[in-house]
Amino acid sequence: MSSVFTSQDISGLASRPLLKWAGGKTQLLSEILPKIPPQYGRFIEPFFGGGAVFFAVRPENGIIADSNPELVNLYRSVAADVNGVIAQLRRYENTEDVFYAVRSLDRTKLSNIEAAARTIFLNRTCFNGLYRVNKSGQFNVPFGRYKNPKIINEDALGAASILLSKTTIICGDYKTVLKENAQAGDFIFLDPPYLPVSEYADFKRYTKEQFYEEDHIELAAEVKRLHELGCYVILTNSNHPLVHELYREFAVEVVPTKRYISCNGKGRTGEDVIVTVPPRPCFNLRLVPAPLSPQAMRYPSTRYMGSKNKLLTELWAVASQFNFDTAIDLFSGSGVVGLR
C-alpha cells in the first residue's frame, strides 16, 4: 500500500543518506561532528556525494552542491516531490533483467522524477552500492545479486525531503560555489575525490571528469583563501604525503577506516585524514577606545623620549581584544604602558 507524506508526517524523523556511497562519511561521523564549531553562519558542502555529514547535522538553510547533475537532480526531486519519487520506485523489481533495462535508459530523456528514482534503484541494487560512470558519463556498475535490498526507505526519503526543501541545491564546480557563496563565519565541509593510495581508489570516481594532483593543489589554495576570509573548514582525504604537505600549517589528524569495495571488503582497512582549519583571527583596529582606568589617569606626566602616554587609548583598544592574565613590558622605559 502506497504512502503519501506530508510535512507533519516527516518533521520528527531522523534524516540519513539516501544512497549507499563508496567513500561516504558515515563511519567518520564520530570524528567529524565534534570538530564542527558550535556556532557558524551557513553550512556549505560543495562535494556533496552521499551527504552523510549534512544529513547528520541537519542545518537550516544550508548550501549543498555537486558537479554530478544526476546526483543534483536526485536531491532536487526528493525536495520537490518525494511522493512522486516513491511512486516511481514502486514500479521496479529487484531482478537482473529489470536492473539492466533500467541501467540502459538514457536519464537525460527521463523526467526529473523518473531519473531520480532510477538513481536510487540502481544504487540500491548494483554491486556494493557503487556509483561509477565511464568517460561517456554512463553508469557502468553491474547487478549486485542481493536477495532483498531495501530499495524504498520511506522514512529516510520523507525526512530528507523536508530538510532538502529548506536547502539551496546547486549543480556546479566547487570553486564557483565557494566564490559566490562563502562568507566569513560560514562552515565549509570538503570531501573531494581522494588522492589515490591503492588500486581501489578509482571506485571513488563518480563523474566522468577526473580530479588530479593539480586539482588538489588548487583545492588547498582555496582552503587557505577560506581561512583568510574567516570561514571554518573541515576537509577529508586519504592519508597521502601530499595532503600532509599541502595542509601542514593546520591540524591534520589520521584516523583508521574500513573499505567496502569488494566482496572481501570486511577485512580491508585504510587511513583517512581530517584537516581542521579555523578562521584566521581578525582584530578590529578601528574600535572606539574605551576610557582609561583611574589608575592610568593618576600616572604622572612624563617627558621620557618615546613615551607612549598619548597612545594609551589606541594601544588598549587592540590589547583588550586578547584574553590574558598577565602582561610583560620588556622595554618599559617610562612604564606608562605596563601601569595600564
288 in a structural domain: no
Max Cα separation, the chain? 95
82: phi then psi, degrees, rounded to nearest 5: -65, -35
Domain boundary among the residues 234, 252, 277 is at: 277
What CATH number corresponds to the domain at position 199? 3.40.50.150
- In this structure, the number of other CB atoms found within 10 A of the CB of residue 324 comes to 7
3-state secondary structure (DSSP) of residue 171 = strand
> Does one domain contain both 69 and 203?
yes
- Asked, for residue 163, whether it belongs to a domain, the answer is yes
Name the grid cell of 33.
561532528
- Whether 176 and 56 map to the same domain: the answer is yes
**SS3 state of residue 170:** strand
Claim to verify: residue 190 and residue 305 sit in the same structural domain: no
2 in a structural domain: no
CA count, 13 A, side-chain hemisphere, 173: 10
Which pLDDT tens digits describe the chain residue by residue (340 residues)?
344 545 444 455 678 999 988 778 999 999 999 999 999 999 999 999 999 999 999 999 999 999 999 999 999 999 999 999 999 999 999 999 999 999 999 999 999 999 999 999 999 999 988 888 877 778 899 999 998 999 999 999 999 999 999 999 999 999 999 999 999 999 999 999 999 886 555 444 445 557 889 999 999 999 999 999 999 999 999 999 999 999 999 999 999 988 655 455 455 678 999 999 999 987 665 556 666 667 666 665 655 555 666 666 776 677 777 777 787 777 766 665 665 5
Contacts of residue 234, Cβ cutoff 8 Å, sequence gap at least 6: 32, 35, 36, 187, 188, 189, 190, 274, 275, 276, 277
Question: How far apart are alpha carbons 246 and 165 in whole angstroms?
Answer: 36
Residue 273: strand pairing partners: 237, 254
The pLDDT value recorded for residue 1 is 37
Both 267 and 305 in one domain: the answer is no
Q: Give yes or no: residues 193 and 326 share one domain.
A: no
Task: Specify the pLDDT at position 10.
Answer: 46
Torsion of CA 168, 170, 173, 179, to 10 degrees: -40
Region of 180 on the Ramachandran plot (φ > 0 left; ψ -120 to 50 alpha; else beta): alpha
Identify the pLDDT of residue 285: 57
Q: Is 123 exposed, middle or buried (0-12, 13-18, 19+ CB in 10 A)?
A: buried
Residues in the chain: 340
DSSP reduced 3-state for 221: helix
Of 246, 277, 308, the residue that ends a domain is: 277
Residues 182 and 250 grouped into a single domain: yes
Give a yes or no: residue 285 inside a domain: no
- Strands 63-66 and 168-171 come out as parallel
- Do residues 61 and 205 share a domain? yes
pLDDT tens for 134-180 read 777 788 999 999 989 999 999 999 999 999 999 999 999 999 999 99
Show which of 228, 251, 277 is a domain's final residue: 277
Does 244 map to a domain?
yes
Per the domain annotation, does 65 fall within a domain?
A: yes
How many whole angstroms from its chain centre is CA 293? 47
Residues 35 and 61 in one domain: yes
User: How many independent structural domains does the chain possess?
Assistant: 2
Beta bridge partners of 234: 189, 276
pTM of the model: 0.79
Alpha-carbon span 339 to 337, nearest angstrom:
5
pLDDT of 289-305, one tens digit each?
666 667 666 665 655 55
Q: Give domain status of residue 1, yes or no.
A: no
- Can you give the residue range of the structural domain that contains 298? 294-339
Are 267 and 316 part of one and the same domain? no
Same domain? 300 vs 250: no
- For residue 178 the three cell numbers come to 565557494
Q: Are residues 32 and 158 in the same domain?
A: yes
77 with 198, same domain? yes
Of 5, 49, 30, residue with least CA distance to 159 = 5
